[in-house]
Amino acid sequence: MTGPSDPLLEGVLAGLPGTAPRFPADRSGVAVLGAGTIAQSAHLPAYEKFGVGVRGVWSRDPARTSDLLERFPSVGRVYASADELLADPGVRFVDLATGPQGRLGWIARAVEAGKHVLAQKPVVATPEDLAALPALLERADAAGVRVAVNQNGRWAPPWRLTTELLRRGDVGEVVGVTHLLDKPLPPLVGTPFDDVDHMLLTDYLLHWVDVTRTWLATAPDGRGEVVAVRARDTRVPGQSAAARNPWSATVELETRGGATAVLRLVGDAVASTPSCPFWVHGTGGTLRGSVLLDSDRLSLDRGEGETDLPLAGAWFVGGFAATMGELMCAVAEDRQPENSAADAARSVALVLAAAASADRGGAPVAVGGAA
């Protein structure tokens, strides 16, 4: 292992943008539409921590906002209706923190109001909505409106630094990606998530699929495009009989150039030091790391020793600030955001293919430009 003053480490880090959220000079004009658990536990704390100006919040359930201004004094107001929020001329960005049902309708209303949108993930959850999304995004482009998705996992510090190193070619072309979720599952029985078909594949693992697709896509000439998905989800020993969904899932991705990825969730793992380790093997080296539960780490190994890389920040809540920051920067710089809805939709296509594969007993499902 190398130390923080090692010249090799300094060379690796030179020129990298870092893992902290990035914002333009003006980070004002955000309104949060939806005030459920994730909005109050992650979105609003992230905006408060990073000085994002929140003009107001609306929820269809007034009980959720009854004491919100006391708990988040930086929030300007509670809107009486969604119409009032969308009509506010001071709102430039709508953080759409509702569930995927009806998502396209909310995006359309925000676009018609001339507001940029950050939509919660998954941007859509059904094949029908996925097919309808491009037409809506064309309308947004014509209106000069940017639509991004809260794929906050991309800014988990170990994953973000991995992305930057892969884009720079520090381990050559990606050969394979491996993820293992070595941690307990969150409570699922009796929650709305357990009512979602193939929930682990289509929702829970979406962050892992999304960042993996991003890494594979760093290969040149389209060789990193995922062309086939295989997946299984199975019930496991010890799983609650009341659980509707299986507690184990495996996803395999295959690219046009032959690189592969495997995502493995073994079940409700018993672990005294839980973590989510990952490995990225390339033609010129290997990245090894972990995310979540105080396990954050990343090292670079190019065959001449392993270099531990310093990390700053955390997925929760920095990743939530970073997704809005990227949208704001994209608007200020007149470009599409990295987390654009069009890009995030490619990950949705993969998890929907994973569910279709599981329905077929793990048979491969072609995606992307595959014949």
Q: Are strands 93-96 and 116-119 parallel, antiparallel or unpaired?
A: parallel
Cα pseudo-dihedral 312, 156, 76, 73, rounded to 10: -50
Which CATH number is 86's domain given? 3.40.50.720
Band of residue 89 on the pLDDT scale cut at 50, 70, 90: very high
pLDDT digits (tens, 9 = 90+) for 167-187: 999 999 999 999 999 999 999
225-248 mean pLDDT: 97
Sheet with 306-308: list strands edge to edge.
Answer: 306-308, 297-301, 285-291, 276-282, 174-181, 260-265, 248-255, 226-234, 365-366
Answer yes or no: is 57 within a domain.
yes
pLDDT digits (tens, 9 = 90+) for 199-225: 999 999 999 999 999 999 999 999 999
Report pLDDT for 86.
98
- Domain co-membership, 198 together with 302: yes
> Contacts for 233-240 with beta carbons within 8 Å, 24 or more apart?
233/198, 233/200, 233/201, 233/358, 236/266, 236/267, 236/268, 238/267, 238/268, 239/267, 239/268, 240/189
Any bridge partners for residue 289, and if so which? 278, 298
Q: Is 210 helix (H, G, I), strand (E, B) or coil?
A: helix
Task: Give percent of the chain with pLDDT exceeding 90.
Answer: 94
For the chain, where are the E strands, in sequence order? Answer: 30-33, 54-58, 93-96, 116-119, 147-149, 174-181, 226-234, 248-255, 260-265, 276-282, 285-291, 297-301, 306-308, 365-366
* Domain coverage including residue 74: 30-152
- Domain co-membership, 114 together with 192: no
Residue where one domain finishes, among candidates 99, 131, 152: 152
- Domain co-membership, 167 together with 114: no
Q: Quick check: 371 pLDDT over 50? A: no
Residue where one domain finishes, among candidates 107, 128, 152: 152
- Domain co-membership, 148 together with 162: no
Q: Quick check: 3 pLDDT over 70? A: no
121-141 mean pLDDT: 97
User: How large is the C-alpha radius of gyration of the chain?
Assistant: 21
Q: How many domains does the chain have?
A: 2
Any bridge partners for residue 287, and if so which? 280, 300
Report pLDDT for 8.
64
- Domain co-membership, 162 together with 122: no
- Domain co-membership, 235 together with 277: yes
What is the DSSP-derived secondary structure letter of residue 55?
E
Report pTM. Answer: 0.95
The amino acid sitting at 118 is L
58-69 mean pLDDT: 96
